[in-house]
Amino acid sequence: MRMYVMFVVAVVLIAVLLYVLDRGLKAVQKGRRRRAAGIRLAAAAAYAEARADAQAKQQETSGALTTVLPAIQERGPRRVA
């Protein structure tokens, strides 16, 4: 009778250990995926910030240029006499 009880306890213990191992491996995998996603997100944010800064600088330069050189006035078509 003791042998059957020990066998059942051993099977339950092995099942619990396998479950804990599975949960642990999934947690490690999720951590790796999140870390990689964070790295990609940081790179994309830096790129977007640099692009926004470049665009703002270009807008500023364009605005400064039009204050020095006013825009050409649009006129109607020329008439040749």
Residue 67 has pLDDT above 70, yes or no: no
What residue numbers bound the domain in which 8 lies? 1-54
pLDDT band at 81 (very low <50, low <70, confident <90, very high): low
With respect to residue 48, please indicate whether it lies within any of the assigned structural domains. Answer: yes
Q: How many domains does the chain have?
A: 1
With respect to residue 75, please indicate whether it lies within any of the assigned structural domains. Answer: no
With respect to residue 73, please indicate whether it lies within any of the assigned structural domains. Answer: no
Helices (H), 1-81: 2-68
Question: Around 17, how many Cα atoms within 13 Å sit in the side-chain half-sphere?
Answer: 6
With respect to residue 15, please indicate whether it lies within any of the assigned structural domains. Answer: yes
Q: Which residue has the higher pLDDT, 11 or 72?
A: 11
Q: What is the pLDDT of residues 14-64, one digit of tens each?
A: 999 999 999 999 999 999 999 999 999 999 999 999 999 999 998 888 776
Angstrom CA distances, 56 to 16, 47, 53, 65, 71, stand at 59, 14, 5, 14, 21
Which pTM was predicted?
0.55
pLDDT, residue 78, reads: 72
With respect to residue 65, please indicate whether it lies within any of the assigned structural domains. Answer: no
With respect to residue 23, please indicate whether it lies within any of the assigned structural domains. Answer: yes
With respect to residue 20, please indicate whether it lies within any of the assigned structural domains. Answer: yes
With respect to residue 25, please indicate whether it lies within any of the assigned structural domains. Answer: yes
